[in-house]
Amino acid sequence: MTSNAGGQQSDSSGVVASRSASSLWLRLLFLSSIAAVLALAVTSVVAAVMNGGQGVLSVAFGGVLVMVFFAISLLIGHFVGRDNPSGAVGLFVASYFVKVVGFAVVLFVLGAPSWLHGRWFVIGAVVAVVFWQAAEIYGFSKARLQIYNDPEARKGDNDVHP
pLDDT in tens, the chain (162 residues): 444 454 444 445 444 444 444 678 889 999 999 999 999 999 999 999 999 999 999 999 999 999 998 898 888 878 887 777 677 777 877 887 887 787 788 778 877 788 888 899 999 999 999 999 999 999 988 877 666 666 676 666 565 555
- What is the predicted pLDDT for the residue at 111? 77
138 within 8 A of 28, measured Cβ to Cβ: no
Buried b / exposed e along 123-133 (16+ C-beta atoms within 10 A): bbbebbbebbe
- How much is the pTM? 0.70
